[in-house]
Amino acid sequence: MPEGDTVFRTARRLHEALAGHEVTRFDLRVPAHANADLTGETVHGVVPRGKHLLMRIGEYTLHSHLKMEGRWLVFRPGERWRSPAFQARAIVGTVRATAVGFEIAMVDLVRTADEAELVGHLGPDLLGPDWDPVEAGRRVASDPRPVHVAILDQRNLAGLGNEYANELLFVRGILPMRPANELDASAAAGLVDTAARMIRANRDRSGRTFTGDTRPGQQTWVYRRERKPCRRCGTPIRRTEFGATDTSERIVFWCPVCQT
């Protein structure tokens, strides 16, 4: 599942492949930007912002989001694509590499000076240079919604997805349904500090783990483990669904003994 760590690695891979080189192929297969052409411009860099990708080319930024199925793949000149061409929504090529965004979402092209129009609403970025744990803790602790919803809101802190939210709340022993504004300052600070340490520990791993065990089926504490025994107390893990709205519900897993 693409979360902040996946986006960070994707941005790094794209930056290493494209940065400093002139664009020789540029193709956006979305109606709003189908006629855009940045060939001849230089790729200045690719950076992550929460779960968003910003590819800076010339005076413009190509913005994309991976959502659930999106992926950027890099190919050598002449190499056969490893995904169907009909899934390609953005193509940026240079003489040394071609980057193709398959099934990516939110494909936008704006002047780099206007990037804030697309990502300025995001909260402190867990993997970014602007990470501010004090501000992130303040935002979470002032949110009256269930804490699981609060930490998924990218306006509070940027980079967490549902897998992280479930695992983080288990590690901190917090019931997902508890209103975030019921957390005291110490609990909120501990929550965002653990979130930062957790996602940074996974940032450079090819396989994500929350338990420290990388073996298949052993990487998570509660995520996708409904009815299985809690790894700490043996109580069956429970599952439900809720979210900020009916259309943004997420699957929530928790241990009724370890999380109170």
State the SS3 of the chain: CCCHHHHHHHHHHHHHHHCCCECCEEEECCHHHCCCCCCCCEEEEEEEECCEEEEEECCEEEEEECCCCCEEEEECCCCCCCCCHHHEEEEEECCCCEEEEECCEEEEEEEHHHCHHHHCCCCCECCCCCCCHHHHHHHHHCCCCEHHHHHHCCCCCECCCHHHHHHHHHHHCCCCCCEHHHCCHHHHHHHHHHHHHHHHHHCCCCCCCCCCCCCCCCCCCCCCCECCECCCCCCEEEEEEECCCHHHCEEEEECCCCCC
Query: Catalytic: 51?
Result: yes
Query: Which member of 49, 56, 145, 250 is catalytic?
Result: 250
Phi, psi at 248, each rounded to 5°: -125, 25
Which residues have a Cβ under 8 Å from the Cβ of 179 and sit 6 or more positions away? 143, 144, 145, 146, 147
0.95 exceeded by pTM: no
Query: Catalytic: 228?
Result: no
Q: How far apart are CA 191 and CA 172, in angstroms?
A: 7
Query: Catalytic: 48?
Result: no
Query: Which member of 2, 48, 124, 146 is catalytic?
Result: 2
- Give average pLDDT by consecutive 10-residue segment, the chain, 260 residues: 90 98 98 96 98 98 94 96 96 98 96 97 95 96 96 96 97 97 94 97 92 95 97 97 81 97
Give pLDDT, residue 247. 67
Give pLDDT, residue 249. 87
Delineate the domains of the chain, giving CATH numbers in brackets: 4-120 (3.20.190.10), 133-254 (1.10.8.50)
| Greatest Cα pair distance in the chain | 60
Give pLDDT, residue 243. 83
Query: Catalytic: 16?
Result: no
Give pLDDT, residue 248. 77
Query: Which member of 48, 49, 51, 56 is catalytic?
Result: 51
